[in-house]
Amino acid sequence: MQKKRLKKILSIVGARPQFIKLGPLDRALKKRYRHVIVHTGQHYDFLMSRVFFKDLGLPKPKYDLGIGSGDHGEQTGKMLIRLETVLKKEEPDLIIVYGDTNSTLAGALAAAKLRIPLAHVEGGMRSFNWEMPEEVNRVTTDHVAAIHFCPTLAAARNLRREGINAGVHIVGDIMIDALRDTAQSPSVFPKMQKGFGIHKRSYGVLTIHRAGNTDDRDKLTNLVLALRKADFPIIFPVHPRTRKMLRKFGLMNKIRSNQLHLIEPLDYKSMVDLVREAKVILTDSGGLQKEAYFLFVPCITLREETEWTETVQEGWNTLVGTDPRTISKALKNIRRPIVHRNSYGDGRAAEKIVRVIIKCLR
């Protein structure tokens, strides 16, 4: 008698937040399915890519497409071409994409063209800002996906408002799965404390990476001028693209100050421990907003809007955009709220996702 073929699931990732989401789900999926990982190469810097696979205990991707950087259309087009070749070869039963990057969009389009069922981890998130490339990516992906894994009730409501009613599942935020496990391991903060000369609850952590901030000379200049005036030290792990634009706009000399400390991107464990002991987080990253919230650290978001509205509603997150006066005011009014509703689940999203997949692939 012929042995029944084990069903195959293929995950498409390409950026640092997606590697984090992939970790818990890879471990859960491998218990029941063949799990093939495709890395588009959207993040190709070692500290933004390969080191994350090592630190998160992820297997080496079966495919690394090596796309690299480029304009949105060029990058997405290259991904689509190479992904179609891989998908025709692998013939997966289900494709999973994560979040809202160009890798997400390319994976969704390739799945739709080849008529392979698609699941979207972090479905339904909306900023309602169509100037953000990420908003285009997430909306398009949701409208071709068959299964939507929503981190919150608000995300599910967003889908239903857009007429998406089938295959909607509220599972919690899978980044909390990874964060919970990492936060429970021994802290590496004492080593960083000595290296950076900082003390608990006396410093900030800054990240800037979104094109809306990095590629706009005025916005990036405003951020630099506002943040260098902080009255406490700020550790700034610099994204490669951000460093490139700081140099292009002649801001490297201005950003270096007694308070702003530029460092290379950190591995995941180091970043989590640095955030956990901080006084405040300053960021335009959606993932870091959630991590700050989970770790009970106030966050100042350098955007006008956020997909993670619960963090704002509970007082843990303040939206400031790039106006220097608004940023300065927020820096002087940092507080730790009393309310914390644990709005993003119990850290078991991966288990819930697999249970849904089991039913769908029967």
Which residues belong to the active site? 209
The answer to whether the beta carbons of residues 90 and 36 sit under 8 Å apart is: yes
**In sequence order, what E strands does 173-215 have?**
204-207
Tokens 């509970």 belong to residue: 314
Q: Could you write out the DSSP letters of every residue in 214-266? A: HT-HHHHHHHHHHHTT-SS-EEEE--HHHHHHHHHTT-HHHH-SSSEEEEPPP
Q: Which residues pair with 170 in a beta bridge?
A: 150
For residue 52, the one-letter residue type is F
Q: What are the DSSP calls for 64-89, one per residue? A: E-------HHHHHHHHHHHHHHHHHH
- Sign of the dihedral through C-alpha 276, 278, 280, 284: negative
